[in-house]
Structure 1
Amino acid sequence: MARNQVRVLKDVSIDPYNDGENLLHLQWCRYELDGGDERGYRFMWSADGKLKPLRGGARIPSWNHLQELMKKAESAGWANQDEENV
Protein backbone atom coordinates (compact mmCIF):
# COMPACT_ATOMS: atom_id res chain seq x y z
CA MET A 1 0.00 0.00 0.00
CA ALA A 2 1.47 3.35 -1.04
CA ARG A 3 1.93 6.01 1.61
CA ASN A 4 3.63 8.79 -0.37
CA GLN A 5 2.47 11.68 1.78
CA VAL A 6 4.09 14.93 2.84
CA ARG A 7 3.82 16.10 6.44
CA VAL A 8 4.71 19.74 7.11
CA LEU A 9 6.78 19.90 10.30
CA LYS A 10 7.71 23.62 10.24
CA ASP A 11 6.46 26.51 8.13
CA VAL A 12 7.17 30.21 7.61
CA SER A 13 5.54 32.42 5.00
CA ILE A 14 5.68 35.87 3.47
CA ASP A 15 3.28 37.94 1.36
CA PRO A 16 5.63 38.99 -1.49
CA TYR A 17 3.01 40.99 -3.39
CA ASN A 18 1.36 42.55 -0.32
CA ASP A 19 -2.01 41.45 -1.64
CA GLY A 20 -3.12 39.52 1.44
CA GLU A 21 -4.00 36.54 -0.74
CA ASN A 22 -0.89 34.86 -2.12
CA LEU A 23 1.64 33.62 0.40
CA LEU A 24 5.00 32.03 -0.33
CA HIS A 25 5.99 29.33 2.19
CA LEU A 26 9.27 27.71 3.16
CA GLN A 27 8.52 24.37 4.80
CA TRP A 28 10.52 21.67 6.56
CA CYS A 29 8.74 18.41 5.71
CA ARG A 30 8.73 14.68 6.30
CA TYR A 31 8.13 12.77 3.08
CA GLU A 32 6.47 9.47 4.01
CA LEU A 33 7.39 7.15 1.15
CA ASP A 34 7.03 3.42 0.59
CA GLY A 35 10.82 3.00 0.79
CA GLY A 36 11.06 4.93 4.08
CA ASP A 37 10.73 8.43 5.39
CA GLU A 38 12.85 11.33 4.16
CA ARG A 39 13.05 14.93 5.30
CA GLY A 40 13.71 18.09 3.35
CA TYR A 41 12.76 21.68 2.57
CA ARG A 42 10.25 22.81 0.01
CA PHE A 43 8.73 26.07 -1.23
CA MET A 44 4.97 26.29 -1.75
CA TRP A 45 2.45 28.96 -2.68
CA SER A 46 -0.91 29.27 -0.98
CA ALA A 47 -4.00 31.29 -1.80
CA ASP A 48 -7.12 31.63 0.29
CA GLY A 49 -5.44 29.52 2.99
CA LYS A 50 -4.95 26.49 0.71
CA LEU A 51 -1.62 25.20 -0.58
CA LYS A 52 -1.25 25.24 -4.36
CA PRO A 53 0.64 22.18 -5.61
CA LEU A 54 2.70 23.12 -8.65
CA ARG A 55 4.60 20.91 -11.05
CA GLY A 56 8.24 21.82 -11.47
CA GLY A 57 8.63 23.67 -8.18
CA ALA A 58 7.51 26.96 -6.77
CA ARG A 59 8.64 30.20 -8.39
CA ILE A 60 10.56 32.50 -6.04
CA PRO A 61 10.00 36.12 -7.17
CA SER A 62 13.39 37.44 -6.04
CA TRP A 63 16.56 36.68 -4.09
CA ASN A 64 15.34 39.09 -1.40
CA HIS A 65 12.17 37.01 -0.92
CA LEU A 66 14.28 33.87 -0.56
CA GLN A 67 16.48 35.57 2.03
CA GLU A 68 13.45 36.84 3.92
CA LEU A 69 12.05 33.32 4.22
CA MET A 70 15.43 31.95 5.33
CA LYS A 71 15.76 34.65 7.99
CA LYS A 72 12.28 33.85 9.31
CA ALA A 73 13.19 30.14 9.53
CA GLU A 74 16.44 31.05 11.32
CA SER A 75 14.56 33.24 13.79
CA ALA A 76 12.13 30.38 14.43
CA GLY A 77 15.10 28.08 15.14
CA TRP A 78 14.73 25.50 12.38
CA ALA A 79 16.75 26.80 9.41
CA ASN A 80 19.60 24.36 9.94
CA GLN A 81 17.75 21.06 9.59
CA ASP A 82 18.94 18.04 7.65
CA GLU A 83 17.97 14.39 7.51
CA GLU A 84 20.36 13.48 10.32
CA ASN A 85 19.53 16.53 12.48
CA VAL A 86 15.84 16.00 13.27
Structure 2
Amino acid sequence: MRDRIRQKEGRSPRPTAAIEDSQWQQAAANIPGSTSGWDGGKKVGDRKSRLVVDGLGPVLAVKVTAASVQGVDATGTE
Protein backbone atom coordinates (compact mmCIF):
# COMPACT_ATOMS: atom_id res chain seq x y z
CA MET A 1 0.00 0.00 0.00
CA ARG A 2 2.82 2.42 0.90
CA ASP A 3 4.47 1.78 -2.47
CA ARG A 4 1.24 2.62 -4.31
CA ILE A 5 0.77 5.84 -2.32
CA ARG A 6 4.32 6.94 -3.16
CA GLN A 7 3.96 6.07 -6.87
CA LYS A 8 0.66 7.98 -7.04
CA GLU A 9 2.56 11.04 -5.75
CA GLY A 10 5.22 10.55 -8.45
CA ARG A 11 7.88 9.28 -6.06
CA SER A 12 10.06 6.19 -5.91
CA PRO A 13 8.29 3.26 -4.22
CA ARG A 14 11.08 3.04 -1.64
CA PRO A 15 11.57 6.04 0.70
CA THR A 16 15.07 7.44 1.12
CA ALA A 17 14.34 9.39 4.32
CA ALA A 18 12.25 8.84 7.43
CA ILE A 19 10.94 10.79 10.41
CA GLU A 20 10.97 9.26 13.90
CA ASP A 21 9.08 10.40 16.98
CA SER A 22 8.30 8.85 20.33
CA GLN A 23 5.49 9.14 22.82
CA TRP A 24 5.48 8.12 26.47
CA GLN A 25 2.89 5.54 27.48
CA GLN A 26 1.97 4.21 30.88
CA ALA A 27 2.20 0.43 30.93
CA ALA A 28 -0.78 -1.63 32.05
CA ALA A 29 -0.68 -3.09 35.55
CA ASN A 30 -0.07 -6.62 34.22
CA ILE A 31 3.10 -5.61 32.29
CA PRO A 32 6.29 -6.77 34.02
CA GLY A 33 8.35 -3.98 35.58
CA SER A 34 11.48 -5.37 33.90
CA THR A 35 10.14 -4.15 30.52
CA SER A 36 9.59 -0.59 31.75
CA GLY A 37 12.14 2.16 32.41
CA TRP A 38 12.71 5.79 33.38
CA ASP A 39 13.51 8.61 30.95
CA GLY A 40 15.50 11.10 33.02
CA GLY A 41 15.37 13.78 30.31
CA LYS A 42 11.58 13.87 30.15
CA LYS A 43 11.15 12.74 33.75
CA VAL A 44 8.64 10.03 32.86
CA GLY A 45 8.58 6.30 33.39
CA ASP A 46 7.17 3.12 31.89
CA ARG A 47 7.34 2.81 28.08
CA LYS A 48 7.72 4.71 24.84
CA SER A 49 6.09 3.90 21.55
CA ARG A 50 8.21 4.94 18.59
CA LEU A 51 6.80 5.59 15.16
CA VAL A 52 8.82 5.96 11.97
CA VAL A 53 7.10 7.42 8.89
CA ASP A 54 8.28 8.45 5.45
CA GLY A 55 7.97 12.02 4.19
CA LEU A 56 4.41 11.48 2.92
CA GLY A 57 3.19 10.03 6.21
CA PRO A 58 2.80 6.26 5.67
CA VAL A 59 4.13 4.21 8.57
CA LEU A 60 7.46 2.45 8.07
CA ALA A 61 7.90 0.96 11.56
CA VAL A 62 6.46 0.91 15.07
CA LYS A 63 8.38 -0.19 18.15
CA VAL A 64 7.55 -0.16 21.86
CA THR A 65 10.49 0.06 24.28
CA ALA A 66 11.19 0.87 27.90
CA ALA A 67 11.21 4.64 28.44
CA SER A 68 14.89 4.45 29.36
CA VAL A 69 15.90 3.30 25.83
CA GLN A 70 17.28 6.26 23.84
CA GLY A 71 16.13 6.92 20.26
CA VAL A 72 19.47 5.96 18.70
CA ASP A 73 19.42 2.62 20.51
CA ALA A 74 15.77 1.94 19.65
CA THR A 75 15.89 2.63 15.94
CA GLY A 76 19.50 1.80 15.18
CA THR A 77 20.00 5.17 13.48
CA GLU A 78 21.66 8.44 14.41
TM-score (normalised: structure 1): 0.29
Q: Which has the higher strand share?
A: 1
The structure with the larger Rg is 2
TM-score (normalised: structure 2): 0.31
